[in-house]
């Protein structure tokens, strides 16, 4: 009864409302360009609301991946064992080298009277949503309201650099991935010690740009973060240089951005190139481990 009565009315309304709504959408677009802070708050409140939902929905996906990994491991147990034994041998010699270098480092530090680097805390957070895709690359973390998460923190997976915290909500935070088109990370080409920039393209591999004249990046060269703008701690593993067909260089990231499950957030107390409103925000009390 209600439906039949309201159909013509509703259709008339729909005809009228569509142009108005499209105009409103354009207004929204302008607003998004003009007041980014307000939009960011709105986005994070939506993210905060949805984060627990995503937390639950990520569970079956994780379970499926664990099962697949388990099955794979069961199938090639012998090969895996052999590989691990071989890797263990290799790591043992690396451990010896690391211990030797650590000792040497301590002595040299005492020698030159170096001030020790500040303690850096790490926070683990679960990746619960992958957002963007075609036009942006970011992931949403469920932080559960852990204190000490601030904009600009560096996120790493177990292999290397993932991205930086770009937005922080009450129980979620967004990480702008290194592959995002807005991501610009200062890097260092290991070996030649020349600085360069890693620019996200939204493609799978970020582009390498702005290396100094006279230096040619080598394929296979390791790339690490550089501290030259004060935004990053030096020496975090980022990736390897690969040559792009058609000229130019790209970086094959060590981090596996397409299968992130947990990231570690590092606070190095560095807040370079961040908008002023972040700096003026009072720091929440930091939890000590």
Partner 1 sequence: MAVFAPRDRQSFWQRLDALARLSFPTLVALLLVVLAAVPLRLPEQGGVMPLLPMVAVFFWALYRPQVLPAPAVFAIGLLADLVAATPLGVSVIVLLLLYGTVGIHRRRLARQSFLVVWLAFLLYLAGAQLLTWLLNTLLSLRLFPPGPALFQFALTAALYPVMAYLLALADRSILPERPEGAR
3-state class (DSSP) for residue 25: helix
Could you tell me which stretch among 16-24, 101-109, 145-153, 246-254 binds partner 1 (CB under 8 A)? 16-24
50 makes contact with partner 1 (CB under 8 A): yes
Pairing of strands 161-168, 137-142: unpaired
Query: Each residue of 246-262: b (16+ CB within 10 Å) or e?
Result: eeebbbebbbebeebee
**How close are the terminal C-alpha atoms of the chain, in Å?**
64
Work out how close the CB of 179 gets to partner 1 at its nearest, in angstroms, rounded to a whole number: 8
The minimum distance between CB 195 and partner 1, in angstroms, equals 23
Q: How far is the CB of 140 from partner 1 (least distance, A)?
A: 7
- All residues at 6 or more sequence positions from 237 whose CB lies less than 8 Å from its CB, including other chains: 159, 160, 161, 222, 224, 254
**Touching partner 1, residues 240-259 (CB under 8 A):** 258-259
Query: Binding of partner 1 at residue 198 (CB under 8 A)?
Result: no
| Displacement of CA 121 from its chain's centroid (Å) | 17
Tell which positions 131-160 bind partner 1, by CB under 8 A: 131-140
The 259-278 contact track toward partner 1, x by CB under 8 A, reads xxx-----------------
> Smallest gap, in angstroms, from Cβ of residue 254 to partner 1?
15
Q: How far is CA 89 from its chain centroid?
A: 32
Most distant CA atoms of the chain, gap in Å: 90
The minimum distance between CB 185 and partner 1, in angstroms, equals 17
Q: Where are the alpha helices (DSSP H) in 35-76?
A: 36-75
29 lines the binding site for partner 1 (CB under 8 A) = yes
Nearest to 160 by CA among 190, 136, 135, 140: 190
Classified as helix, coil or strand, 34 is: helix
Contact 157, 167 (CB under 8 A): no
In whole angstroms, the minimum distance from the beta carbon of 63 to partner 1 comes to 12
Contacting residue, 12, 61, 73, 99, with partner 1 by CB under 8 A: 61
Q: Contact region for partner 1 (CB under 8 A) — 5-13, 143-151, 185-193, 274-282?
A: 5-13
The single residue among 48, 123, 125, 127 that binds partner 1, judged by CB under 8 A, is 127
Place of tokens 């650099």: 161
Judged by CB under 8 A, which of 12, 65, 82, 85 binds partner 1? Answer: 65
Shortest gap between Cβ of 162 and partner 1 (angstroms)?
13
> In the beta sheet, which residues pair with residue 172?
142
Q: Which one among 12, 31, 91, 108 touches partner 1, defined by CB under 8 A? A: 31
Distance CA 44, CA 54 (A): 14
Q: Which stretch binds partner 1 (CB under 8 A): 49-57, 80-88, 90-98, 151-159?
A: 49-57
Provide the sign of the torsion angle of the four alpha carbons 223, 228, 229, 230, taken in this order.
Answer: positive
- Residues lying near partner 1 in the complex (CB under 8 A) are found at 2-4, 7, 10-11, 13-14, 17-18, 21-22, 24-33, 39, 42-43, 46-47, 50, 53-54, 57-58, 61, 65, 127-140, 167, 174, 181-182, 201-204, 258-261
């Amino acid at each position: 009864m209600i439906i039949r009565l309201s159909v013509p009315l509703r259709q008339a309304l729909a005809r009228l409302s569509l142009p108005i709504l499209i105009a409103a959408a354009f207004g929204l677009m302008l607003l998004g360009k003009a007041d980014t802070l307000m939009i960011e708050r709105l986005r994070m409140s939506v993210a905060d609301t949805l984060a627990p939902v995503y937390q639950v929905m990520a569970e079956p996906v994780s379970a499926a991946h664990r099962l697949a990994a388990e099955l794979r491991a069961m199938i090639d147990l012998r090969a895996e064992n052999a590989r691990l034994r071989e890797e263990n041998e290799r790591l043992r010699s690396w451990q010896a080298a690391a211990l030797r270098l650590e000792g040497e480092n301590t002595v040299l530090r005492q020698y030159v009277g170096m001030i020790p680097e500040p303690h850096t805390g790490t926070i683990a957070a679960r990746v619960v949503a992958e957002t963007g895709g075609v036009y942006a690359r970011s992931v949403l973390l469920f932080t559960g309201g852990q204190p000490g998460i601030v904009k600009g923190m560096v996120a790493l997976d177990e292999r290397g650099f993932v991205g930086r915290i770009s937005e922080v909500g009450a129980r979620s935070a967004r990480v702008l991935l290194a592959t995002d088109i807005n991501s610009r990370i200062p890097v260092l080409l290991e070996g030649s010690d020349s600085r360069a920039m890693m620019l996200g393209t939204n493609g799978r591999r970020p582009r390498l740009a702005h290396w100094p004249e006279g230096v040619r990046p080598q394929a296979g060269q390791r790339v690490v973060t550089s501290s030259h703008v004060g935004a990053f701690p030096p020496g975090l593993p980022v990736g390897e240089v690969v040559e792009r067909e058609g000229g130019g260089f790209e970086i094959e990231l060590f981090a596996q951005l397409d299968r992130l499950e947990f990231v570690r957030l590092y606070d190095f107390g560095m807040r370079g190139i961040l908008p002023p409103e972040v700096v003026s925000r009072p720091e929440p009390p930091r939890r000590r481990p």
